[in-house]
Structure 1
Amino acid sequence: KNWKAHSQGISLGVVVREYASLSHLYKQYFGFPGEILMRMLKLVILPLIISSMITGVAALDSEVSGKIGPRAVIYYFSTTIIAVVLGIILVMTIKPGVSQTAEHIDRAGTPPNVTTVDTLLDLLRNMFPENLVQACFQQYKTKRKELEPQKLSVNSSTVPPLTTTIMTVMENITKDYKIVGTYSDGINVLGLIVFCVAFGLVIGKMGEKGRILLDFFDFDTPALNEATMKLVQIIMCYMPVGILFLIAAKIIEVEDWEIFRKMGLYMVAVLSGLAIHATVCLPLIFFVIVRKNPYTFTLGMAQALVTALMISSSSATLLVTFRCAEENNCIDKRITRFVLPVGATINMDGTALYEAVAAIFITQLNDYALDVGQIVTIRYVPVTAASITLKTTL
């Protein structure tokens, strides 16, 4: 049903776009059933992550979890590194920004005052939320606020030209900032995962004393997770209708098809990088480690991949990913409950590749040459960290 809904949604979107002239308001009305699907999927993210992470960690003994955890994290960061390197190679080879002209760029607005250090510190801050309830709907984010420049007190006997020179220099070089903490809307998934992992480890080590808590979260008992799965089944019944209108609305909302021509080489660099990473790099890693056909495994995950593509959220697709991994590919539930929520949060290969291409594309657009050292230090490290931060923000 979902595959049929995807094709019907594309057809409906093309027909409505060509033969019906809808205002922006009616376009939003048209996509309302798809909006309801997105809300349903986001609704179950919180109980799904909490229950799956706690039961997954608690069900694994310390020796097994000690092996799976580091291996999963190493794999996630390794694939992110590969994606960044692949994106850099492609953008330096295709050079999409060289053929563009920087004069036609709309430079209205001011860029946010964000640094790599602040981004990494915010990432660490969100890993340890000060209020667990608040982490369910808000994330912590810092901003830099410029302080008033310090002025030099000058003795009245000082020669006037010297005073003027000193004051000018001080005003030019004396800038100080302070960090201002704010909260933005959105689930702090990273903080919840860190808490659930720690809580699951504690429950697992408590033995029989922690059994009552484990039974509350466990998949195999009539408690939180079984109730969540019942909700998931209801959402699955509505999903074909929601996907139909979600895809159709996305196609209708594209106002300027000329963007595909104007940004052609840039899109070629990004899309070709994603295609190579998804069809060559990841299957090759799977084959080397597992020694099985990677495309058979990918076929079992196809529904989750297409759903994530359509709704642009791997976290919201988590319930479909669980079902595909456990039912189609027969993966142990203890593994999926631990690995998938973490992967949906920190494994951002596509975002890392896109940001690497975008950063160098902008430098090419402004005719700014980068050497190898600048590419590694300015593009690779910040992009890898920022991709995780962007994911937790979204």
Structure 2
Amino acid sequence: MHVLEPEAAHLVDQSVPTYNKTNNASPLRKLKCWVLGLGINSENLLIILTITGVLLGVALGCTLRKMSLSDEAIILVKFPGEMLMRMLKMLIIPIIVTSVITGLSNLDLKKSGRMGAHAIAYYVATTTLAVILGVVLVSIIQPGNQKRFSLNKAAEQRVISTLDTFLDLIRNLFPENIVAACLQVAQTQLTRSEEMMGNSSNISSINNSTIMNKSLDYNQSKILKVERKLEQIPNANVLGIIIFSVFFGVTLSNLKEEGKIVTEFFSVMNSIFMRMITIILWYSPIGICSLLAGNLLTLGGVQDLIESLGMYMLTVIAGLMIHLLITLPIIYVAITRKNPFRVYYATSQAFLTALGTASSAGTLPLSIQCLEENLGIDKRVTKFVLPLGATMNMDGTALLEGVAAITIAQMYQYSLSAGQIVTISVTATFASIGAAAIPSAGLVTLVLVLSAIGLPSEAVGLLWSIDWLLDRIRTSVNVMGDCIGAVIVQHLNKELLAED
């Protein structure tokens, strides 16, 4: 029998915790040891807690519906969810600004100008196509149609022409004051003036339906004039902030060593905000439970809600699969004249990892390895295109935000004009660029898309109940879009890479 030396036995005795040490550990430490003993990492634990919050929210909402609670009680039920939405709104703009500036300021545009131009053109094209696809599908399927389900309280609607909406969109791309852009957004308002025999009176805000109804009672001596006035509405100008951040980041990248300190500052700030949003996500199961329970107390029918959420989920999944299996392969074949599914097979491990982790950033090392080892992609391409894509190329996120925004508008019985649909599409495209590469970041930036058309953000809690599944699918689509883009950039720059 092998006998331990005294010194070795002493080391073994120290390394094995005694019963008393374990018994005296804090409850938090015991829970952590138990979770790790089950092989559950922090990401999977958050998913389990989120699903638990969803189930508890549904059970609590269905139970409280039978009690006919007062308005004050319903407000208290919704309060933890309201705190979640307020915390998310607090960090949305800082995360988008620092993420966009950090991603662009680290680019060497002169050294990799052609490669960067091809990559960015690909990202913009695929993201735009994804948003358009999502808008078309949600307009056809209408998962939030009021025939199936609608929130009891309709959203306050601002009726205005498509031209005014489009002009407001262009104006907000270039804010005259970047500080005010964090608080205000420019919107055209209609005012009416009634005139009789050249005199005007009773000026007030109206909408198109009011104009029509009032005009029926006017005799020939009364004249109705409609005037347009540009006003600053309390809301964040998301598009203007993102455009400014892009301009700032590109300019900063041209300063090289001179701007290194500023680049490092925004990089550190981005890391801080990412960690803060991660901490808030640990509170999200409580907030989701509260939002679901509160919304169930004010809805018409739970069965109709489940049907609408199911239709919404099918719409998003259908859009993601069409984008993954049809749109991206068509683009790849049109440019390279090669089989796109060869790329899918070579990067299948990265796809499955993204499906499990729901994080583009977490899958990045494996994506680089798959492309370099299985497809022989140049390291200069993978090290440049894939990190850039993990920050800026979020096709699945953009598609989901477009579908989700229009679905919520349908739930609130909010009729969207063509101009507002364009606003949703453009805002979803830009918001996806600033979406952090972390789980559920798409729903965080969805709040910005909703604010662009004046919709309340509390309905995000309903969509969050099923986002734990959709997040994995859209992240996988994001990762495959990055991989396809890297192969396309390699094909377009093979002569330049050969010369270097």
**TM-score normalised to the size of structure 1?**
0.65
Structure 1 151/109 Cα, relative in aligned 2: closer, same or farther at 3 Å? farther
Equivalent positions of 1:1-394 (< 5 A) are 1-19=45-63, 21=67, 23-30=70-77, 32-60=79-107, 61=109, 62-90=113-141, 112-149=158-195, 151=197, 168-169=219-220, 171=222, 175-186=225-236, 188-217=237-266, 225-233=267-275, 235-237=277-279, 239-240=281-282, 242-253=283-294, 254-255=296-297, 258-259=300-301, 270-286=312-328, 289=332, 291-292=343-344, 300-301=353-354, 323-324=361-362, 326=364, 332-339=386-393, 348-351=401-404, 354=407, 383-388=421-426, 391=449, 393=451
Partner of 1:368: none
Structure 1 265/175 Cα, relative in aligned 2: closer, same or farther at 3 Å? farther
Answer with 206-215 or 260-269: which moved more.
260-269
Q: 1:110-155 CA distances to partner (integer Å, 9 max, x unpaired)?
A: 85331211111111111111111122233222212224447469xx
Contact 1:57–1:201 under 8 Å retained in 2: yes
| Distance of 1:46 and 1:150 partners within structure 2 | 49
| Distance of 1:263 and 1:117 partners within structure 2 | 35
Which residue identity is paired with 1:184? P
Structure 1 168/152 Cα, relative in aligned 2: closer, same or farther at 3 Å? farther
Answer with 269-278 or 3-12: which moved more.
269-278
The residue matched to 1:183 in structure 2 has which SS?
Answer: strand
Which residue identity is paired with 2:187? K
**5+ residue gaps, structure 2:** 1-44, 200-217, 333-339, 369-384, 428-447, 453-500
Partner of 1:160: none
| Distance of 1:137 and 1:322 partners within structure 2 | 31
The residue matched to 2:185 in structure 1 has which SS?
Answer: strand
Structure with greater Cα Rg:
2
* Higher RCO, Cα 8 Å, sep 6+: 1
Contact 1:87–1:354 under 8 Å retained in 2: yes
Q: 1:228-281 CA distances to partner (integer Å, 9 max, x unpaired)?
A: 4245335534533x1221221123111266435668987776554333113443
Q: 1:57-89 CA distances to partner (integer Å, 9 max, x unpaired)?
A: 222214344223332222222122222333444
| Distance of 1:260 and 1:71 partners within structure 2 | 42
Structure 1 110/63 Cα, relative in aligned 2: closer, same or farther at 3 Å? closer
| Distance of 1:239 and 1:274 partners within structure 2 | 23
| Distance of 1:33 and 1:354 partners within structure 2 | 24
Contact 1:355–1:383 under 8 Å retained in 2: no
Which residue identity is paired with 1:350? V
Q: Report the Cα offset of residue 3 of structure 1.
A: 0.8
The residue matched to 1:192 in structure 2 has which SS?
Answer: helix
Which residue identity is paired with 2:387? K
| Distance of 1:272 and 1:229 partners within structure 2 | 34
Structure 1 344/34 Cα, relative in aligned 2: closer, same or farther at 3 Å? same
| Distance of 2:414 and 2:322 partners within structure 1 | 27
Q: 1:205-237 CA distances to partner (integer Å, 9 max, x unpaired)?
A: 2333333332332xxxxxxx3244245335534
**5+ residue gaps, structure 1:** 154-166, 218-224, 306-320, 364-377
Which residue identity is paired with 1:393? S
Corresponding residue pairs, total: 334
Contact 2:353–2:363 under 8 Å retained in 1: yes
| Distance of 2:257 and 2:73 partners within structure 1 | 58
Q: Report the Cα offset of residue 350 of structure 1.
A: 0.7
Structure 1 393/328 Cα, relative in aligned 2: closer, same or farther at 3 Å? farther
The residue matched to 2:130 in structure 1 has which SS?
Answer: helix
Which residue identity is paired with 2:239? L
Contact 1:345–1:392 under 8 Å retained in 2: no
Partner of 1:161: none
Contact 1:84–1:356 under 8 Å retained in 2: no
